[in-house]
Amino acid sequence: MKRRRVAVTGVGVVTGPGQGVEDFWEGLTKDPGKGPFTIDNWDPSALIPRREARRLDVFSQYARVAAHEALEMAGDHGTAADRSGACVGTGIGGMQSFENLVNAVYHSPRPRPSPLAIPMMMGNAAAADISITFGFLGPATTQTLACAAGAQAICDALRQIQWGYADLMVAGGSEAAVRPASIAGFRVARALSPTDESRPFDVDRNGFVVGEGAAMMVLEEWDQAHSRGADILAEVLGAGTSSDAHHITAPHPDGDGARRALEWALEDAGATPEQVGYINAHGTATPLNDAGEGQVIASIWGDNQPLVSSIKGTTGHALGASGGIEAVASVLAISRGQVPPNVGLREQDPQIPLHRIAVEREDWDPGLAVSNSFGFGGHNTVLVFGPAD
């Protein structure tokens, strides 16, 4: 079977910088100050009835609202239910529900845990809820590759359509882990910024700041999208996935796994490095990640580097949702002809060999955009998007 082309026909976002695509896009230019970067005044009642929302962890609520926006943007796709599916990435799942369960069991004089505690906290709850809500009878899967989960979910959805298992997939990531337990865990692991500032690639970067949210995109078989006159935002050209096989938290010292994922993604897309005009970097603002990612980009592009930026200066590190959020930012960079800025960068680390970090929103002639996602455990996923030509 010939590999089928895949279009992006809708995107949806729920993040600290903005709820909804327009607010998110504008929010990417603003310095949010100190983190953690939370979604304030969350109220999904316009789309999720209150009684129903009480049966969903917040990460599932984020995912459903983002999926609704993406599907609304995609329009009337007319895809058969058994040819439609969902793939959602999450690093932690229902952390709030987990905390509530622990408190009910261990810290209540009369333990009465919710009978819905397990289905609310399980990682696959968001993908299941999207399938149930929108009546998708095709693949419904979940990726839990830590910070690469959202990107890997998009990669898996891409393969489902490329090889004919589905015609439409809602894919992305969701996370609601700005909770006392997860913050404490990251804090003792010395992964977080002690000053709660997210400054990717800066000489004074000192760790990441936790964020939260969800981002979903509608992937659709190209001919179907084109024939119905859909507004195609971008094309998903390829993806690459690798493992460092090195350490549970630290990246490979020479970036070997990240480099292979990048090279395989370009090969899968049938593209050369020279065709890439923008890299949405993983850029966590940790000393090891930013140094290693910079070295990998320099090793592939040399002195002829594309524009590079990390949006984690505004979104924070949304863990399993970050790959989905950054993939949507990459698609918007293509469809709107602008690269989002690397907020938080005051003085670039001279040891990071990146020559074209976008410190402000920059216009560009949209070519290929690469989105990097690297996760604890040594998981690396890279996505390649192109204009809808």
What's the pLDDT score for residue 109?
A: 85
Task: With cut-offs at 50, 70 and 90, classify the pLDDT of residue 217.
Answer: very high
Per-chain mean pLDDT for the chain: 97
282 noted as active-site residue:
yes
pLDDT, tens digit (0-9, with 9 covering 90-100), for 266-291 = 999 999 999 999 999 999 999 999 99
Average pLDDT over residues 230-249: 98
- Degrees to nearest 5, angle at CA 170 with 72 and 94: 105
The residue count for the chain: 389
pLDDT, tens digit (0-9, with 9 covering 90-100), for 98-112 = 999 999 999 888 888
Residue 145's closest CA among 300, 319, 18, 335?
A: 319
- Find all residues with CB under 8 Å of 273, minimum gap 6, and list them: 266, 300, 301, 304
Which residues pair with residue 84 across a beta bridge? 168
147 noted as active-site residue:
yes
Task: With cut-offs at 50, 70 and 90, classify the pLDDT of residue 96.
Answer: very high
Query: Are the C-beta atoms of 250 and 288 separated by less than 8 Å?
Result: yes
Label residues 56-83 b or e (16+ Cβ within 10 Å = b): bbbbbbbbbbbbbbbbebbeebebeeeb
Distance CA 131, CA 136 (A): 5
What's the pLDDT score for residue 297?
A: 99
Query: Are the C-beta atoms of 168 and 79 separated by less than 8 Å?
Result: yes
What's the pLDDT score for residue 110?
A: 84
What's the pLDDT score for residue 354?
A: 98
- Find all residues with CB under 8 Å of 243, minimum gap 6, and list them: 257, 377, 378, 379, 380
Query: Are the C-beta atoms of 198 and 28 separated by less than 8 Å?
Result: no
What's the pLDDT score for residue 1?
A: 79
Of 68, 252, 317, 379, the catalytic one is 317
Query: Are the C-beta atoms of 88 and 127 separated by less than 8 Å?
Result: yes
Average pLDDT over residues 291-299: 98
Burial class (CB in 10 A: 0-12, 13-18, 19+), 306: buried
DSSP 85-113: EEEEE-SS--HHHHHHHHHHHHS-SS---
Q: For 238, list phi and psi in degrees, rounded to 5.
A: 180, 175
What's the pLDDT score for residue 254?
A: 85
3-state DSSP percent of the chain in helix, strand and coil, to 5? 35, 20, 40
Query: Are the C-beta atoms of 358 and 309 separated by less than 8 Å?
Result: yes
Topology of domain 7-377, CATH:
Peroxisomal Thiolase; Chain A, domain 1 (3.40.47)
Q: For 16, list phi and psi in degrees, rounded to 5.
A: -60, -45
Q: For 23, list phi and psi in degrees, rounded to 5.
A: -65, -35
Of 77, 87, 147, 379, the catalytic one is 147
pLDDT, tens digit (0-9, with 9 covering 90-100), for 165-213 = 999 999 999 999 999 999 999 999 999 999 999 999 999 999 999 999 9
Q: How many CA atoms lie within 13 A of 375 on its CB side?
A: 28
Say yes or no to pLDDT of 5 above 90.
yes
- Degrees to nearest 5, angle at CA 344 with 303 and 204: 80
Domain chopping of the chain, boundaries: 7-377
Q: Tell me the one-letter amino acid at 234.
A: A
- The lowest-confidence range among 17-26, 27-36, 349-358 is 27-36
How many C-beta atoms surround the C-beta of residue 263 within 10 A? 17
Distance CA 237, CA 228 (A): 21
Q: Tell me the one-letter amino acid at 100.
A: N
What's the pLDDT score for residue 111?
A: 80
Average pLDDT over residues 18-32: 96
Indicate the pTM of the whole model. 0.97
Distance CA 315, CA 317 (A): 6
- Degrees to nearest 5, angle at CA 129 with 98 and 79: 160
Of 77, 252, 282, 379, the catalytic one is 282
What's the pLDDT score for residue 120?
A: 98
Average pLDDT over residues 373-389: 97
What's the pLDDT score for residue 247?
A: 96
